[in-house]
Chain A
């Protein structure tokens, strides 16, 4: 079945959500992220929601869950690119997404996670060549 791809960049997991997710897809993503963190020993998770036009309470809970679960597994999570209309609606809904760090862009998100984009630490078994 279709899945949201989880990409690896060193010890960072990069997830770009571009589709209108139905509930099963969201739950699958939660699963995949936790699996990958365990497998690859990732220490950072970056979720790009700049294409998401709707974040309802279910999706909001999914994001909060991913942050919480990743935290337990030793990884920090940052959600980036939230659209203004989405932010306004979430506030009205009363969702504050506790435990979820946010940033305006992918770069800002990476800075938050690792201090700087260049300083991206590589994880074990990484295929990237060292600079």
Chain B
């Protein structure tokens, strides 16, 4: 509506200070953003809204004339999501422009009630749409942040330990779901290459249950490792898990399994041509008169 464009243009200079002043301290969030930064954002947004309202398609926020505004709001949402603003903060920021805008509209069109209603309606629709775009972008940014944090958590929760030259151990604690098993698998294989380890021991002592899906994933991991030239040994198989595996009919013929991690380690050592020998006891220096000195 050209009326809206006219009103906005005429009152541009007043709208900004009125808007900022009218913003309650709750919306300002001085704890997250400085006054100068806030002023800047308001100024920049208002400029773009003015441009949009003057464009060829003033009421359609999806039109090209509004693209810079949309972009600006999206960037604003992403930044604020990272800074810790709540979704309410972000939406209210945009919506708080209604107050000074409506005041200007009322002033300009007080004599023509029906026209004032129409202009008010366009203005409210406009700002509502803009607020929604901002909120949508905010939600998307938050989701991505959470997903990334989840991923990092997954990776941290399955460390790879080097037991010896060429022998790795992966102690898995907690339930293994599809996503986690994928991460475990990729982690294991990357580590095998990075450390040039021919043996990888997957210890599942800390895994409460193993279902068909998890077993399948473990089997895939073992096959992939074998394809690369490494061998996997599964250790820490508790009696209940052994029973579950047999009941589910999972075929572990090609897989080496051991009840204890130490057994798996011993096997890996043996297979890589090493033995552990006990050296003749070294002389113990007496710490008190209780022990007699040994002949060297």
A and B in direct contact, judged by CB atoms within 8 A: yes
B191 closest partner in A (C-beta) = A84
Contacts of A87 in B (CB 8 A): 189, 224-225, 227-228
B200–chain A nearest beta-carbon distance, Å: 11
Q: Is A102 within 8 A of B229, CB to CB?
A: yes
Give the interface centre of B192, B198, B228 by most chain A CB atoms within 10 Å.
B228
Given A104-B193, A104-B198, residue A80 in contact with residue B223 (CB < 8 A): no
- Cβ-based interface call for B125 (8 A): no
- Are A84 and B193 CB-contacts (below 8 A) given A102-B229, A104-B229? yes
By beta carbon, the residue of chain B nearest A92 is B220
The answer to whether B193 touches A102, judged by C-beta atoms less than 8 angstroms apart, is no
Q: Are B196 and A105 in contact (CB under 8 A)?
A: yes
Contacting pair A90 B227 (CB below 8 A): yes
Cβ of A97 < 8 Å from any Cβ of B?
yes
0/1 interface trace, chain B 205-228, chain A, CB 8 Å (1 if under): 000000000000000100111111
Residues of B within 8 A of A96 (CB): 223, 227
- B186 A88 Cβ-Cβ under 8 A: yes
How many angstroms from the CA of A87 to the CA of B189 in the assembled complex? 9
B118 at the interface (CB under 8 A from A): no
Indicate if the CB atoms of B229 and A80 lie closer than 8 Å.
yes
B137 — which chain A residues lie within 8 A by C-beta? none
CA distance A79 to B20 in the complex (A): 69
* Residue interface bits B122-151, CB-to-A below 8 A is 1, else 0: 000000000000000000000000000000
**Binary B-proximity of A78-107 (CB < 8 A = 1, otherwise 0):** 001011100110111000110000111100
Say if the beta carbon of B90 comes within 8 Å of chain A. Answer: no
Most B Cβ at <10 Å: residue of A87, A90, A102: A87
Q: Is the CB of B227 within 8 A of A91?
A: yes
Q: Which residues of A contact B223 (CB under 8 A)?
A: 91, 96
Q: How distant is the Cα of A92 from the Cα of B224 in the complex, in angstroms?
A: 9
Query: Quick check: is B269 within 8 A (CB to CB) of the other chain?
Result: no
Q: Which of B151-207 contact A (CB under 8 A)?
A: 185-186, 189-190, 192-193, 196-198
Bound complex: CA of A55 vs CA of B224, how far in Å? Answer: 13
- Contact B196–A102 (Cβ < 8 Å): no
- Provide the residues of chain B in CB contact with A83, threshold 8 Å: 193
Q: How many B residues touch A, CB cutoff 8 Å? A: 18
Contact A91 B186, CB 8 Å, known A82-B227, A104-B196: no
Main secondary structure, interface of B, reads helix
Chain B residues near A84: list those with CB within 8 A: 186, 189-190, 192-193, 224, 228
Contact of A52 with B by CB under 8 A: no
Q: Is the CB of A108 within 8 A of B224?
A: no
Chain B residues with CB under 8 A of A108:
196, 198, 229
**Residues on the B chain within 8 Å of A97, using CB:** 227
Q: Does B230 contact A (CB under 8 A)?
A: yes
Report chain B residues within 8 Å CB of A105: 196
Residue of B nearest to A107 (CB): B196
- The answer to whether residues A104 and B227 also contact, given A84-B186, A84-B193, A87-B189 and a CB cut-off of 8 A, is no
Closest to B226 in A: A102
Q: Hey, which chain A residues are within 8 Å of B228, CB to CB?
A: 82, 84, 87, 102, 104
Within 53-99 of A, Cβ neighbours of B (below 8 Å) are at 80, 82-84, 87-88, 90-92, 96-97
CA separation between A108 and B229, bound complex, in Å? 9
A62→B229 CA distance, assembly (Å) = 18
Contacts of A92 in B (CB 8 A): 220
B-to-A contact residues, CB < 8 Å? 185-186, 189-190, 192-193, 196-198, 220, 223-230
Top-5 shortest CB links A-B:
A84-B189, A102-B229, A87-B224, A103-B229, A104-B229
